[in-house]
Structure 1
Amino acid sequence: MKPLTRTLPIIMVATASSILFSSQAVALTDTDCTNIPKLETNANQGIFQSSFDLGTCFETGTNVEKSRETAFQHFKKAADGKLPAAMLRTGVYYLYGSGGVKKDQKLAANWISKAAETGLAEAEAMYGELHFRGWGVRKNIDEGMKWLNKAIEKNNTKALNFLAGEYFYGRNLSKDREKALSLYLKAAENGGIIQAGPSIINIYRNGEGAPKSRELADQWTLKYANHADPRRINQIAERYLNAKGRPRDGRMAISLYKISAEKGDQTAKYHLMNLYFVGFGVERNLSKARKWATVLANDPEKYGYHKPARKILNEIDAEERGEETQSMKSAKLLKSLTRKTPPLKLKIEADCSNVKLTENKAKKGDIKSLIDLSVCYTNGDGVAQSYETGFNHAKQAAKAGSPMGNYIVGVYYNLGSFVKKDHNEAAKWYLKAANDGLANAQHMMGIFHTAGTGVPKNMATAGQWFKKAIDQKYTPSLMYLGRQLGGPFTKNKKALETSFLYYAKAFEYGDMKALYPLSQMLKDGKGVPKDEKRAFELAELYLDTGSSSAYRNISEYYLKGIGTQKDVNQAISLLEKAADMNDELAMLKLMNLYYKGNDVSKDVKTARKWAEQLSAKGKDWTKEQADELLKKIKAGK
């Protein structure tokens, strides 16, 4: 089965958790460089710690002119005096060939091993990695593990991160992502969150090594942000706002910008001011916008944010006087365009004809009545819609042991209706229902394991759940598998053949919706020999569903004469029926047919009629195309 495409993570996983490539391998100790002459005097008197400190000052350029060459000379002097940190630092210089030193991995390994033998955790970690890479020593994973474990016993975060990366990617050790996660978590808990954080976040976000959990990914994102520099925090916040392939999360963006602002970042303050002022990703809040605008307006002018801040303060004042500003109009427009979560509709049969009677039965503990009430209140059928009441009735039924009750609770958590969206929680409820044999839930467990949603990604387990649902003639599973294998860009012949068989089985089990893909595959010769006549027959049969897609589908056959005699008038009539049912694609087809004059006489007036209807009723790209055509017509093109 073709796996689902995974969306890009918000923070990319580090390609290699390397000790050797992080800050040139060694975190320099805190060094007092305020009195260089005193350090030089002490170093000349043979105090090796002062030599090491001087090396640090020259390497960082603190109170002296930065010079790696001079830094190395001081480190080497301290290393000859057997100072562990200096031996390690000297090894690093030979490893990279920096500071005017000729690169020599064997000499580097020799110095690093001396430092490691003193028990210095940084050196133990680095010496372990050298054995994994075979740099300056013979590659020896067992020897490398010995030294890494010595460092890990001292909670050295670089050793933890490196070993985690080896387990995660399976480079020199058997791939074990659960083990990798435990090591990354330990590194983060011991102060290594900057290195481990991105990997932890992506493990939870992608469900690799742990059940997929956006909630945990977000929690770790905030923990990471508390230690990251403002520029990095702002980049992550921007990705939450400009999310692709997932819902925008203004609250997370605001939280991240606040962390950055608390670190003194002016750009974050600017974004907070604008987000609250316009209401992008969050509710519009003039009070909070004023707070951040005031901070920026009083900031030094060198940052450049004082001018827009003062402008916003003037606009807020105008709005509070009752004037309608351009920003207010923009905010209203933005709010109207903001996508809302589609309403939850349960496709479950229920008797909603007499809700009062059903409620009386439910009070007496009748499980079927509890399920009916859950569906009626959720769908607003026969009663005012109330997700809260619908959820509570499902929870009661679940508590009484109803598989359907467990399934409905899972649906609520999966979609985030009334309760906070939580795929882990959804998977828990679906699993209860699936284990009780409910085909709906077995189907959802198949989807969850396919995508790694709320559970580990596992195609074999997904297949097992789909098979259980199909054994009960649950056609949505067959339709889902057909779509996965027979997507529009699929060229694999075997996959297309299997896709056709899934759709055929769905139709055999009574699902008329399978006729649409079956007719298309026969028409195009995908997964089955091309047979236009049979394709037309199935398209005709699909008309019995009375759906707009059925009218639109068969219109193409009449328009092009596929499997039947060409009949443009009949094609137009069928498209108009579909359009009357608010089928946007049918409106778009009619609009383009009349405007371009393909297969019908060019008729700009009729094209405009359909474009205007589509502009008023359409969504997203169909509306955009209609608006574009109306502009062309108006311009006389």
Structure 2
Amino acid sequence: MYNLALFYKNGKGIENNLEKAFYWYQKAAENGCKKSINILAGYYGKKTEINLEKAYYWYQKAAENGITVAMLNLAICYEIGEGTEKNIEKAFYWYQKAAENGDEMAMFCLALYYENGVETGINLEKAFYWYQKAAENGFTDAMFNLALCYKNGEGTDMNLEKAFYWYQKAAENGITDAMNNLAICYEDGKGTEMNLEKAFYWNQKAAENGNEVAMYNLALFYENGKGTENNLEKAFYWYQKAAENGITNAMLNLAIYYENGKGIKKNIEKALYWYQKAAENGDEMAMFNLALCYENGDGKEINLKKAFYWYQKAAENGHENAIFCLAICHKNGEGTEKNIEKALYWFQKAAEYGNEVAMFNLALSYKNGEGTEINLEKAFYWYQNAAENSFTDAMFNLALCYENGEGTEINSEKAFYWNQKAAENGFTDAMFNLALCYENGKGIEKNKEKAFYWYQKAAENDNERALLYLALNDVETEKNLKTTFYWNQESAENGLVEEMFKLALCYKNGEGTVINLEKAFYWYQKAAENGYKEAMKTLAICYENGEGTEKNEKKAFYWYQKAAENGITDVMFNLAICYEIGEGTEMNFNKAFYWYQKAAEN
């Protein structure tokens, strides 16, 4: 009967006829033929009108008659409740029976039961045992799971070489997850020597076979030129494939490629789309970048509320820069209501993550009592932390704390140290303070040369106090002439006689302003009228030569006389000439002789 069924099934010596094959399998099974019993169950499940109850019945009969494959199929029926009620206990029993009879799929299923504690407590040693048995019998999924056992030391000692061996076996048998893990072994040199070319090969194999993690890894290899030449176009292609298959990191990188035009034409709208997708999948970097897009209007109109929303999401997921940006939003009321207390909270969080700008802002909050009570000790603490993390503004403020004893004891040496650090980092107020330290010997020995150097550096960086210092001390530098002119003008207009004369010189020589002899004359006259001796002499010369005014010999004589009478020796000779030749006055030889004699004596 069994053989007749085979002839009808295979069309041997007669036309193929599955109905008659089924009939004779059934007859043979009813007469106790073990082979027919299992085949008959399969017919009820697939090749004839589906009848799961009858399929179950005949699998049970075959299993009870020792047919191993029927034991497996019966276990499946119990596991999924097909043709009978679901019964995991019985499923476990029949998987075990089939496994003990050499069925590799049953071995694998039994291992899964032991690994996951289904119907039995978790037993990793037994799971390992049955994975090993199934793998050694050629069951490819078991090869992969056996490799994982060796990798993680589950049910056996960790053994990366054996993990590599079974990844390789599984990969060669088409298991894509194994291909991916094999690539990782080659990339990291785990269980084998590092070989980036082979890592690239297996990433490519896995990616081409649909493994989305391998797609992402393959993109990384192309991006970084690992195991192959750098190729941003191919990197983009595989990021896109991985992103479309749900890999969040790939979505982020794809967005970055679109934003920056890497491997593809720049497209801000698509960048925004993929940032959004990655952000919705929980990637905090994507949340942060999406917030930046909304803040800056990249790809869409500026939307500060959405920027705030995504900064908050990213911050709540631990993104350090987002934490700081969220603090700024609360501080300035950007996208949300202004809330100094919340700003302080997020500055604190960012500071604890090592953000030096947040540390500085936190210090300012404690110093000024913004969102908290004034606490100079805490302000000092956070200035110090920010300064030690190379934040220049904090270095300067820390120097002030040491100088003034705010939140700490006065310490001139440390004040000098932090002024120096800030000055060397380009902070102009620190340059000026450093110059003062050198000039006055505060925290360091007096050093006039170094003081001058730092005054000059500060002035060259437009520090007004340094420019004023150099101007008042008649120090000329290319940078400070305009400021010298400005301060001379301010002082002259406020009645400082010497500055009137200096302002006149600026106008005469074009120092810090355009040459203007009329204005030079005006300020010489103002200074002379206010008793400035040098201005009297210069005013006389202006009248004599017609500089900034019309020539006037009488007025020239008048101011030569005033200057000479005030002890300006080099005009005594000029005054003598005036008397001798009668220039601006009547000729008078006696007076000419007098002033020649005075000039000679001096």
Q: If the length of structure 1 is used for normalisation, what is the TM-score?
A: 0.36
Q: If the length of structure 2 is used for normalisation, what is the TM-score?
A: 0.38
